[in-house]
Structure 1
Amino acid sequence: MLLLILGLLLWVAAHFFKRVAPEQRAAMGNAGKGLVAVGVLAGLVLMILGYRAAPFINVWTPPSFMVHINNLMMLGAVFLYGMSATKGRLRGKLRHPQLTAVKVWAIAHLLVNGDLASIILFGGLLAWAVAEVILINKSTTWDRPEPGPAKKDVVLLIITIVMFVLITGIHAWLGVWPFPA
């Protein structure tokens, strides 16, 4: 669990650095970007290694129907994440589509994973995403972008479905079948 917690802390610290110490981050220039990228990547690797090595300590047993809710929420999370790059009509409907996607992803995974390592990982990333939105909203203003053509939203929907299938395939390859039998 120690690697998991250290990874989570490193991930949070690297992401918060720009928000809690903007002068120090700005003074570092491009080297600061590299340092943050290394911190984020190292945090991610530690979280993955720590999660995979963590003992299974059951805290609660999710009901089986939660898998369906999880899968629907995951489809929504992939769509939300893609909204950050869209140039369609949905552009500007949401200020923080990527962080909102992380929140939906984390909640979806908490619904189907009742072990302690999952609660630490997904709960920690949920708390980070909520705190990150609060920090960003306090530190910057937002100019809502103008909506683009609706056909770009159709492209986003197609990409969402392809990415969802790809993510499902990766889960299956890793030995986690995301659909109930």
Structure 2
Amino acid sequence: MTLLILGLILWVIPHSFKLIAPGMAKSIPEGPRKGAVALLTLVSLVLMVVGYRAAPVTGGYVAPSWGVHVNNLLMLISVYLFAASGMKTAITRVVRHPQYTAVILWAIAHLLVHGDIASILLFGVLLVWAVVGIILSNAQMQWTKPTGPVNMGKEIGAVIGTLVVVAAIGYVHILLGYRPFGG
């Protein structure tokens, strides 16, 4: 579990730096700061995946049998929100923090189907990180809701992209030995 914990630390610190220490973050030139965050993100993802896969499946709680169905719905919404944030689709007029919200839904979805200690740690920490990120971000910055016409090309692209990514995620989960669609 050491690698998993180290990966979570390397995720949370750089992804929270601008919100926790905005003055210090502004003092670092944007290029090097973004480069460091990108590198730490890559390292943290590798550590989280390797650490999670190596962790024993012990303790925790028994996930509900219906959890897989809710998981699939939440994952579909989560992937859409993540895509929509980058594409600035209409949902960004309603959801101020689509990426944080996507992480929250992703974490809840996985906690509905995995009750072991490693899963609680991984998904629980990222859930708390995203909730705290929304709270800190809201406290520090005003929100100007996006306006203007809705670009239907972006909307359709986000939906198609979401379906492709969800199918790919399902396929990878099957390759890893999970049953993402129940059964």
Fold conserved between structures, TM > 0.5: yes
Partner of 2:161: 159
Query: In the alignment, what sits opposite 1:7?
Result: 7
The CA deviation at 1:100 is 0.2
Which runs of structure 1 show a deviation greater than 6 angstroms over 4 or more consecutive aligned residues?
none
The aligned counterpart of 1:100 is: 101
Aligned residue identity for 2:32? A
Query: How many angstroms apart in 1 are the aligned matches of 2:86 and 2:123?
Result: 24
Give the Å deviation of 1:56: 1.3
- Give the superposed CA RMSD: 1.6
Q: Point out where structure 1 has 5 or more consecutive residues left out of the alignment.
A: none
State, as a whole percentage, how many aligned pairs show the same letter. Answer: 48
Q: Which string of whole-angstrom CA distances, capped at 9 and with x for unpartnered residues, describes residues 84-141 of structure 1?
A: 0234433422110011010000000001001000000000000000011111111212
| One-letter identity of the residue aligned with 1:23 | G
Q: Post-superposition shift, 1:58?
A: 2.8
Counterpart among 165, 170, 173 of residue 171 in structure 1: 173
| C-alpha contact 1:88 1:149 (8 A) present in aligned 2 | yes
TM-score norm. by structure 1 comes to: 0.92
Partner Cα distance (2:127, 2:47) in 1 = 17
CA distance in 2, matches of 1:26, 1:145: 25
Gaps in structure 2 of 5+ consecutive residues: none
In the comparison of the two structures, how many residue pairs are matched? 181
* Aligned equivalent of 1:18: 18
Change beyond 3 A, Cα 1:87–1:125: closer
